[in-house]
Amino acid sequence: MSSVRDWATGFAVIGTILLGPIIAFLTVVAAEVLIDFLKERAVIAAIAVCAVVAGIIGWVLLWLLFRRMSPYRVFLWVFFRRLTNTSD
Question: What confidence tier does 48 reach under pLDDT thresholds 50, 70, 90?
Answer: confident
Dihedral angle, C-alpha 51, 56, 60, 61, nearest 10 °: -10
Return the pLDDT at 42: 76
Return the pLDDT at 25: 93
State the maximum Cα–Cα separation within the chain, in Å, rounded to a whole number. Answer: 68
Mean pLDDT value of segment 34-56? 81
Q: What is the reported pTM? A: 0.40
Half-sphere exposure of 49 (CA within 13 A, CB side): 12
Could you read off the pLDDT of 55-78 as tens digits, one per residue? 888 888 877 777 776 666 667 777
Return the pLDDT at 1: 46
Return the pLDDT at 85: 62
Question: For all residues of the chain together, what is the average pLDDT?
Answer: 79
Which residue would you say has higher pLDDT here, 70 or 29?
29
